[in-house]
Amino acid sequence: MATKSSSTSVFLFIFIFCIFIISQAVSDDDRKVYIVYMGERPNGEFSAERLHINILEQVLGSGGSSSLLHSYHRSFNGFVAKLTNDDAHKLANMEGIVSVFPNQMKQLHTTRSWDFMGFSKNVIRTNLESNIIIGMLDTGIWPESESFNDEGFGPPPKKWKGICQKSSNFTCNNKIIGARYYKADKNFHPTDIQSPRDSEGHGSHTSSIAAGALVHKASLSGLASGLARGGVPSARIAVYKICWADGCSDADILAAFDDAIADGVDVISLSVGGSFAIDYFNDSIAIGAFHSMKNGILTSNSAGNSGPQLASITNVSPWSLSVAASTIDRKFFTEVKLGNGEIYKGTSINTVELKHNLYPLIYGGDAPNTKKGYDSSESRYCSEDSLDKALVKGKIVLCDSVNSGEGPLAAGAVGAIMQYYLDSAFNFPLPVSCLGSDDGTDVSTYLNTTRKPKANILKSIEEKDEQAPYVISFSSRGPNPITYDILKPDLTAPGVDILAAWSQGTTVTGYEGDNRIVPYNILSGTSMSCPHATAAAAYIKSFNPTWSPAAIKSALMTTAVPLSLETNTDAEFAFGSGHLVPSSALDPGLIYDAGEIDYVKFLCGQGYDTETVRLVTGDRSKCSDSINGTAWDLNYPSFALSATPGKSTRRVFHRTVTNVGSGVSIYKATVKAPPGLEIEVQPNLLGFKAIGEMKSFIVKVKAKIDGNNITNMMLSGSLIWDDGLHQVKSPVVAFALEEE
């Protein structure tokens, strides 16, 4: 989604700019939209609106009620209001309020993948799978897609309390059992459809990855052809449309959580994030995920597409699952053929077979749109408007960077060769191939030394990638910027070049000039890996309906397969516990469980006070000597230790595991540690006599990271509990933080 999100932000900027002018003209209003978060909802009946108006009137006087935009009350307490900075500040200091933060826009983190994970369509399933409801918080859904056909489905499960929001021309069925949409600011863009219908494509794509029906012979114009299917094809989908042309607002994200939890979904999938990590209770996604955890619902989040920079991950709360994106063993290549017979292999997804054998080739830098004031320093990048139509029309243009392709298309080019290596293949609105720098230089030399240079761009081909899986460069990396000592991301799942359902309300790229309306499309992003993990969580829950969100998460993490450190130089910061293996997660042996009280201890230890903790939990929780845990003692299925370079750091981690494997069993601890890391487990044998029995142990870790060797900044070790049948794996990592 890299190409797409950059154009979204440009668009977003223009859009915000227009609104700014309009609102300036209407009034001199310096109020902004804020979220006022008040924690758990009071027990029993309460009039949320009256309570919220009352609070607003205390600060704003009798006219306070007019600034209330939305009340949250079904699953937690809080409201959305238009406030000045001063008023927001006053509210933040009032009793009963956890946090006040400005409403901001988050962005989308834009079928063979299941087979690649060893999860065939014939894996054992339970009839209870059709009782599982997945809440998709996204751009909506295209209900007529074959992937959402409800053939063979009975009526919705009895526990379902949601609705199909009445709107023109959108109907639910027994597959899509509920659908709602949210837009607190009511600023609709012309391409927005005011219904749960998906005009973007993203929500249909993610929903079908998680729970799409089996659809044979699905492909994008013949590419990635085969059986398209979701991870849990019998599960139900509940749609919560929160993302629109201008992004996904915090106010709408929280409104969707408020409803989804009360509606009775089993798992929540959210492939959306902000641009940087923020404090848990200033983050709509972390707040929503906390209340879903309290209600037994796991939230599966995309890690983000801001890699490979370290600490770029944004969805980091310990009560949710953070999913990185890795490759599958299929890779797309697009060949470039030159007039001299040379052929170069680039990356992209090109569905088009061009008519002629060769087309004239021109360098973008030689075709500036001088009439509009562009020179070759701009046109070499083929940016929008910078190319001269008269020179480019009917030709293939060579560009010095990767761009959306809109510039060459608008100038009438038949294709574009872009110079920059991409490790994943993206869609463009015209035939494009992205070449590595050596190949790009060859093409440039050929162009400069040939009287009539010619080229062609062929339709993409698929090849097997023997190196897969590896975490893709765009996938956001750890460490966790909010709590260093909780390892994030948690695991990785397929998120590169995934075929899944698409919206008929848009085209392959959504760009002007693209006329390809398709039922299935190929996309990359942690947006695509997240619903793979969501489905795996739903699969586990269909067999173990009473398992807590932490138990499900533990099963997914301790059975994941760590990836090669050679192809993944950022190690656990890239893949967390490893690559998801849904069928192994069904039989994890032991689980690291955690409930609300464990997160309360963690929050106390992170410096939140009793008042905040009480509001968030809605009970008499109290931070005290005994209710005060370090990050190392949260019963997490992985171990992370931040250390000062050049000094030795020691930590003791307390953990408790619950036996969910064989009744009578003995587990032995095995540790692996590189030089510089010492790991000791006490006791190193755990004997169980029954299912459900719990045993505690401690892990003592000593780490010394060489302050003079940056390549040694992370030490990757592991702990495996093994009873001969189950290997319960946890990464144990130590890493250096920069010296203060």
Which residues are near ligand NAG by CB under 6 A? 99, 101-102, 144, 169, 279, 282, 363, 365-366, 441, 444-445, 448, 504, 604-605, 623-625, 628, 630, 709, 711-712
Q: Which is nearer to ligand NAG, 625 or 738 (CB)?
A: 625
Cα angle value 568/569/574 (rounded, 5°): 60
Structure tokens at 500: 């899944």
Q: Give the HSE-up count for residue 310: Cα atoms under 13 Å, Cβ half-sphere.
A: 14
| DSSP 8-state code for residue 164 | B
SS3 call for 493:
strand
Beta bridge partners of residue 178, listed in sequence order: 238
Is 138 catalytic? The answer is yes
In contact, 469 and 562? CB cutoff 8 Å: no
Nearer to ligand NAG by C-beta: 101 or 520? Answer: 101
Nearest residue to 616 via CA among 81, 54, 37: 37
Do residues 283 and 483 make contact, with C-beta atoms less than 8 angstroms apart?
Answer: no
Rounded Cα distance between 337 and 350, Å, is: 14
Angle at 364 (CA atoms; ends 359, 365), nearest 5 degrees: 135
Q: How far is the CB of 104 from ligand NAG (least distance, A)?
A: 10
Amino acid at 708: N
Which strand (E) or helix (H) includes residue 19?
Answer: helix 2-26
Of residues 97 and 533, the one with the C-beta less far from ligand NAG: 97
Q: How far apart are CA 634 and CA 606, in angstroms?
A: 11
Alpha carbons 541 and 538: distance in angstroms, whole number:
5
258 is catalytic: no
Can you tell me the distance from the alpha carbon of 294 to that of 479, in angstroms, rounded to the nearest whole number? 26
Find tokens 């994106």 and name the residue.
325
Looking at the Cβ atoms of 229 and 601, the one nearer to ligand NAG is 601
Task: Write out the two tokens for 724.
Answer: 């001969």
Q: Which is nearer to ligand NAG, 59 or 528 (CB)?
A: 59
Instruction: Tokens for 544, please give them.
Output: 């173990």
58 versus 445: smaller Cβ distance to ligand NAG: 445
Q: How far is the CB of 375 from ligand NAG (least distance, A)?
A: 12
Question: What Rg, from alpha-carbon coordinates, does the chain have?
Answer: 26
What tokens were used for 345? 């292999």
Distance in Å, CB of 145 to ligand NAG, minimum = 10
The total of other beta-carbon atoms located within 10 Å of residue 238's CB is 30
- Look up residue 410 and give its two tokens: 């608008």
Beta carbon nearer to ligand NAG, 67 or 131: 67
Phi and psi of 617, rounded to 5°? Answer: -90, -25
| Least distance between ligand NAG and beta carbon 672 (Å) | 16
Establish whether the linkage from the previous residue to 479 is cis, with ω within 30° of 0.
Answer: yes
Find the catalytic residue in 99, 292, 527, 548.
527
Residue 268 beta carbon to ligand NAG: minimum distance, rounded to whole angstroms: 23
Instruction: Name the residue nearer to ligand NAG (CB basis): 400 or 497.
Output: 400
Task: Give the closest residue to 193 by CA, choosing from 209, 204, 178.
Answer: 204
CB of residue 623 to ligand NAG, shortest distance in Å: 4
DSSP bridge partners of 716: 733
- Nearer to ligand NAG (CB atom), residue 62 or residue 449: 449
Write down the least CB distance from residue 18 to ligand NAG, Å.
25
Cα atoms in the 13 Å half-sphere on the side-chain side of 516: 20
Nearest to ligand NAG of 113, 419 (CB atom): 419
Q: Which of 202, 291, 579, 726 is catalytic?
A: 202
3-class secondary-structure state, position 256: helix
- Measured from the CB atom, the residue of 289 and 443 that comes closer to ligand NAG is 443
Report the amino acid identity of residue 508: V
Identity of the residue, 668 or 700, whose beta carbon is nearer to ligand NAG in the bound complex: 700
| 73: annotated active-site residue | no
Least Å from the CB of residue 546 to ligand NAG: 32
Q: How far apart, in whole angstroms, are the C-alpha atoms of residue 291 and residue 294?
A: 5
- The three-class DSSP label of residue 489 is coil
The minimum distance between CB 118 and ligand NAG, in angstroms, equals 32
Q: Which is nearer to ligand NAG, 519 or 731 (CB)?
A: 519
The CB-of-674 to ligand NAG minimum distance in angstroms stands at 8
In the set 138, 250, 263, 439, the catalytic residue is 138
Q: What does the alpha-carbon distance between residue 672 and residue 236 come to, in Å, rounded to a whole number?
A: 42
- Identify which of 231, 244, 295, 304 has the alpha carbon closest to the alpha carbon of residue 272: 304
CB of 613 to ligand NAG, least distance (A): 10
Provide the token pair at 78: 């809080």
- How far apart CA 184 and CA 80 sit, in angstroms, is 9
Q: Distance (Å, rounded) from C-alpha 153 to C-alpha 341?
A: 55
C-alpha–C-alpha distance, residues 309 and 304, integer Å: 11
For residues 71 and 81, is the Cβ–Cβ distance under 8 A?
Answer: no
* CA separation for the pair 349, 555 (Å, rounded): 35
Q: Considering the complex, what minimum distance in angstroms separates the CB of residue 686 from ligand NAG?
A: 28
Crossing angle for the helix pair 250-263 and 284-294, nearest 10 degrees? 10
Using the structure block, give the residue that is written with the tokens 């989804």.
260
> How far apart (Å, rounded) are the C-alpha atoms in residues 466 and 482?
36
Amino acid at 284: S
Minimum distance from residue 77 beta carbon to ligand NAG (Å): 17
Please answer whether residues 726 and 668 qualify as being in contact, where contact means their C-beta atoms are separated by less than 8 angstroms: no
Show which residues are catalytic: 138, 202, 527
